[in-house]
Chain A
Amino acid sequence: MFSPFITQATSVRAIMLRVMLALIPAVAVYVWYYGPAILVSLTLASLTALATEAVMLKLRKRPLAPFLGDNSALLTAWLLALSIPPLAPWWLVVVGTAFAISVAKHLYGGLGSNPFNPAMIGYAILIISFPVQMTHWVAPHGLGSLELSLAQQLQYIFGGQLPGGATLDAVTMATPLDTLKTQLHLGREAAEVMGMPIYGHLGGHGSEMVALAILLGGAYLLLTRIITWHLPAAFLATLFATAGIFYLVDPAHYAPPLFHWFSGAAMLGAFFILTDPVTSPTTIKGKFIFAAGAGFLTYIIRVFGGFPDGVAFATLL
């Protein structure tokens, strides 16, 4: 026995659990707007993550119990599941999660030693390898031409069959960010595009509510001191500022900054992805630089890059 003999620390297990708790409001909103498919993804991802982690630990000859119990694999699974389309085929979820845990986490040394966020690596691999499946996002309630029940969603995820022989286009539509990009390319004005039914008050119709729910979760994390304010603040501020500059210069062709805040994975990135302790800087100055860089890059990739959302790549870079 050696000093200190007392400890106040919240264990790693408890911290990860709290973060997952903070994601619950977002999941709830997700289900409300997009149906229960996301729950399927979450379950699939969780199971794959734990299984992959167990296999890797065995291969690396490490004890299973402490590491499986630290909930870090589960959290990676949840973050990845929330970043990919809910109606994604089951193998997409499985491949992405398995890759994230085995390659991005364990091949680099396991918990604490990975230089890149495993969830984001998983996402990056998927979007590069399977761009079609990754860009088919479910339409929110009321906007799609076909609504699916849970059973039907399950049938699609596992069987690839849609009811009545419908094609995927009936169920999915482009995301708000994607729509904006394409429409702008077609020469329409930003304000006009934003009036389309896909857009709500702040961002996309359904996704803005999810983003708000994530913001709520982020606030919970801040209050319980799981994360500090430096990373989210720097990221959001830079994103806002960059978007703001472009918007002020040419409001016809660029979306307002708040739109960027509440669409895509900006909120998720700010509070849950960037703040991953293993992959983010430890000094305060470092945090500011990292987050500001990510904010700037997110905007650039969104507007000028080939992908609809730049958060994942911005974080990795």
Chain B
Amino acid sequence: MRTLYHFHGGVHPPTNKAQSVRTPIAQAGIPSKLVVPLHQHVGNVAKPAVQVGERVLKGQLFGMPEGSVSSAVHAPTSGTVEAIDMQQVAHPSGLPDLCVTLIPDGKDEWIARRGVDYRSKDAAELRQMLRLAGVVGLGGAVFPSDIKLRAGKHKMTTLVINGAECEPYITCDDMLMRERADEIVAGAEMMRTMLGAEEVLIGIEDNKPEAIAAMQAAVDASGLTRMEVVAVPTIYPGGGAKQLIRVLTGIEVPAGLRSTDLGVQCFNVATAWSAHRAIAHGEPLISRIVTVTGNVERPQNFEVLIGTPLNELLPLAGPRPDTNAHIMGGPMMGVVLPSDKVAVTKATNCIIEGSPALFPPPPAPLPCIRCTRCAEACPADLQPQELYWFAKSKNFGKTQEYHLFDCIECGACSYVCPSSIPLVQYFRFAKSEIWANEREKDAADQARQRHEFRQLRIERDKQEKAEKLAQKEKAALAAKAAPVATPATAPADAPAAAATAPAPAAKPAADDATQALINAAIARAREQAVVVKPKNVENLTPQQQAEIAEIEARRAKVRELSHPEAGQSEE
């Protein structure tokens, strides 16, 4: 019997899962159009790899991954690309994003697929294949899986496969485990070899006995000795990566560290399945299991093509007329979608049709009575009431002292609050304010650095110019037979130049060094002449004008003496 550990807190919301597991996974089929976002993953948007009007095949590349954190996007079926433009996507903000709109031709024709045995490839090749296959975390985080499969510096002991599915209403992983257990097991084993982990632990909550049995049978049939199915207690949020790791291995992943630093990595069962299909069958990620439940006549799971608009998927489940919201995700962490025109993405694990009876509007929040039920429920051992106090008063420094960024936004605190305070929203607000401040600070730092460099550059250019001119002068004078100190046409207030003017023109240079120095000085003065404007040149008194005329006359005379050949022209 394996020892299981516990994490602090957690709550037991009613599971509401039974209604959607009565029938096997149904095929949602091909809709009339598909709207595939090019940004369905954490990281950079995929670069479009097709053009409007192009005919594409099923599984053809739509978007090329760009940058190190990115993933590919593919055509879910064969057809013609109608548009590549901004469309509203499945995000609560209602903002649009770049999408490829595909009109299916009904033939569902695949590209040429080729599966390989993963044992014949090395880990780096496999990672590249997964990246190009668009495999991302299907538990909801959609992080590119190839990056997570990089073996870190630390020796990997355990690979955790997450079949917990702790949130109420969602049953897509449950059904996947019941129906496709052997493929999940195959994918898990491949991941284990890629990471070099010693063992695989598949964590499944104990409210899913059929899934546990199916996975156990698959593990037994595979003959793999280093893989184990472990039933974990049903508690929300037991499916959180850190929580599941702690329950299965006792390892607590502290803030700021990745689990790989402690030798553990965690993947969702659907991700393992998708990775297997990508390598062993050459199939990119173009569909996923979606639970449609809530206020519908026929709650069930569907295998849905990515990009299927909700208004073509939902009727298959028969939503009731008093539906007032489409929630993507579960009731604890889900988001309300802006409309039913948005499309299914790789992150859509569940759609709950909401109604006033199912999810009544919460009462107005009362002040916090410091009952600490939230702190008792927090799975990350935080003090939500303190975080709330500081977030409300915008004391963001204090929120970070109380480990705000360890909050996994599971909603357990809001769930138990007697004053109905929307705690998670306060934490999200605080986090985004802190990020915005950081970005501003970074931008300001960058601006300062650029300014400083610019100042430096100007100085440097000045210096280089001065040196160049000095060299030039030196060369020019060296070319002449009798090096002469040419007085500069300096203004009235340049004393150095003026001092040499009255003196007799010819000044034989004692040595080259002195001459070079003098030339450099003259060059500098010339430069300054460009920059420095003569002062007090307006409103000259007659006396001043007479003086100026005298000085000019002397200069002319000197010029004449030093440059007799040029003297005629200057006269």
Complexed CA–CA distance, A58 and B362 (Å): 25
Contact A282 B418 (CB under 8 A): no
Complexed CA–CA distance, A6 and B424 (Å): 13
Complexed CA–CA distance, A66 and B370 (Å): 18
Task: Give the bracket for the number of chain B residues in contact with chain A.
Answer: 35 or more
Chain B CB within 10 Å — which of A9, A10, A14, A278 has the most? A9
Contact A4 B424 (CB under 8 A): yes
- Chain A residues numbered 1-45 whose CB sits less than 8 Å from any CB in chain B: 1-12, 14-15
Taking CB atoms, residues of chain A closer than 8 Å to B415 are 4, 6-9
Contact B414 A4 (CB under 8 A): yes
Query: Nearest CB to that of A6 among chain B residues?
Result: B331
Within 8 Å of chain B (Cβ to Cβ): is A95? no
Complexed CA–CA distance, A282 and B415 (Å): 18
Complexed CA–CA distance, A2 and B325 (Å): 11
Contact B331 A4 (CB under 8 A): yes
Taking CB atoms, residues of chain B closer than 8 Å to A3 are 329, 331-335, 411, 414, 424
Taking CB atoms, residues of chain A closer than 8 Å to B546 are none
Within 8 Å of chain A (Cβ to Cβ): is B349? no
Contact A9 B336 (CB under 8 A): no
User: Which one, A106-114, A190-198, A207-215, A266-274, is touching chain B?
Assistant: A106-114
Contact B363 A113 (CB under 8 A): no
Chain A CB within 10 Å — which of B13, B354, B362, B367 has the most? B367
Contact A12 B332 (CB under 8 A): no
Within 8 Å of chain A (Cβ to Cβ): is B386? yes
Complexed CA–CA distance, A70 and B420 (Å): 12
Task: Say whether, besides A15-B371, A66-B366, A282-B372, A5 and B327 are in contact (CB < 8 Å).
Answer: yes
Task: Say whether, besides A111-B366, A278-B369, A282-B375, A4 and B332 are in contact (CB < 8 Å).
Answer: yes
Taking CB atoms, residues of chain A closer than 8 Å to B419 are 11-12, 112
Within 8 Å of chain A (Cβ to Cβ): is B385? yes
Contact B354 A277 (CB under 8 A): no
- Chain B residues numbered 381-419 whose CB sits less than 8 Å from any CB in chain A: 383, 385-386, 411, 414-419
Within 8 Å of chain A (Cβ to Cβ): is B368? yes
Contact A4 B411 (CB under 8 A): yes
Taking CB atoms, residues of chain A closer than 8 Å to B331 are 3-6
Q: Smallest distance from the beta carbon of B57 to chain A beta carbons, Å?
A: 39
Write the B414-455 contact mask toward A (1 if CB under 8 angstroms, else 0).
111111101011000000000000000000000000000000
Contact B375 A70 (CB under 8 A): no
Which of the residues A2, A110, A280 comes within 8 Å of B422, measured between beta carbons?
A2
Within 8 Å of chain A (Cβ to Cβ): is B168? yes
Query: Nearest CB to that of A63 among chain B residues?
Result: B364
Taking CB atoms, residues of chain A closer than 8 Å to B425 are 2
Chain B CB within 10 Å — which of A2, A4, A66, A280 has the most? A4
Taking CB atoms, residues of chain B closer than 8 Å to A5 are 327, 331-332, 334, 354, 359
Q: Smallest distance from the beta carbon of B356 to chain A beta carbons, Å?
A: 11
Taking CB atoms, residues of chain B closer than 8 Å to A8 are 11-13, 415-416
- Chain A residues numbered 258-317 whose CB sits less than 8 Å from any CB in chain B: 277-278, 280, 282-283
Task: Say whether, besides A3-B424, A7-B420, A9-B416, A66 and B364 are in contact (CB < 8 Å).
Answer: yes
Write the B315-328 contact mask toward A (1 if CB under 8 angstroms, else 0).
00000000001010
Contact A282 B383 (CB under 8 A): yes
Taking CB atoms, residues of chain A closer than 8 Å to B364 are 66
Within 8 Å of chain A (Cβ to Cβ): is B341? no
Within 8 Å of chain A (Cβ to Cβ): is B555? no
Which of the residues A6, A9, A10, A67 comes within 8 Å of B332, measured between beta carbons?
A6
Within 8 Å of chain A (Cβ to Cβ): is B564? no
Contact B369 A277 (CB under 8 A): yes
Complexed CA–CA distance, A5 and B336 (Å): 10
Contact A2 B336 (CB under 8 A): yes
- Chain A residues numbered 92-151 whose CB sits less than 8 Å from any CB in chain B: 110-113
Which of the residues A12, A111, A282 comes within 8 Å of B385, measured between beta carbons?
A282
Which of the residues A11, A14, A111, A282 comes within 8 Å of B367, measured between beta carbons?
A111
Complexed CA–CA distance, A118 and B168 (Å): 41
Contact B369 A112 (CB under 8 A): yes
Taking CB atoms, residues of chain B closer than 8 Å to A70 are 366
Task: Say whether, besides A6-B168, A12-B419, A282 and B370 are in contact (CB < 8 Å).
Answer: yes
Q: Smallest distance from the beta carbon of B528 to chain A beta carbons, Å?
A: 67
Query: Nearest CB to that of B424 among chain A residues?
Result: A3
Contact A277 B372 (CB under 8 A): yes
Complexed CA–CA distance, A8 and B329 (Å): 19
Q: Smallest distance from the beta carbon of B236 to chain A beta carbons, Å?
A: 10
Within 8 Å of chain A (Cβ to Cβ): is B361? yes
Contact B368 A112 (CB under 8 A): yes
Within 8 Å of chain A (Cβ to Cβ): is B373? yes
Q: Smallest distance from the beta carbon of B325 to chain A beta carbons, Å?
A: 6
Q: Smallest distance from the beta carbon of B358 to chain A beta carbons, Å?
A: 8
Q: Smallest distance from the beta carbon of B414 to chain A beta carbons, Å?
A: 5
Q: Smallest distance from the beta carbon of A186 to chain B beta carbons, Å?
A: 46
Chain A CB within 10 Å — which of B168, B383, B415 has the most? B415
Query: Nearest CB to that of B419 among chain A residues?
Result: A12
Query: Nearest CB to that of A111 among chain B residues?
Result: B367
Which of the residues B371, B414, B424 comes within 8 Å of A277, measured between beta carbons?
B371
Q: Smallest distance from the beta carbon of A224 to chain B beta carbons, Å?
A: 13
Query: Would you mind naming 17 contact pairs between A and B with Cβ atoms under 8 Å apart?
Result: A2-B335, A2-B422, A3-B332, A6-B14, A6-B168, A6-B415, A7-B362, A8-B11, A9-B415, A12-B419, A15-B418, A70-B366, A72-B369, A277-B372, A280-B370, A282-B383, A282-B386
Which 8 residue pairs across A and B have the least CB separation, nearest first?
A112-B367, A4-B411, A277-B371, A5-B359, A5-B331, A4-B332, A282-B372, A6-B331
A residues apposed to B, CB below 8 Å: 1-12, 14-15, 66-67, 70, 72, 110-113, 277-278, 280, 282-283
Q: List 20 additional A-B contacts (Cβ < 8 Å) besides A9-B416, A11-B419, A278-B369.
A: A3-B329, A3-B331, A3-B333, A3-B334, A4-B332, A4-B424, A5-B327, A5-B331, A6-B168, A6-B359, A7-B362, A8-B416, A9-B415, A12-B369, A15-B418, A72-B369, A110-B367, A111-B366, A112-B366, A112-B369
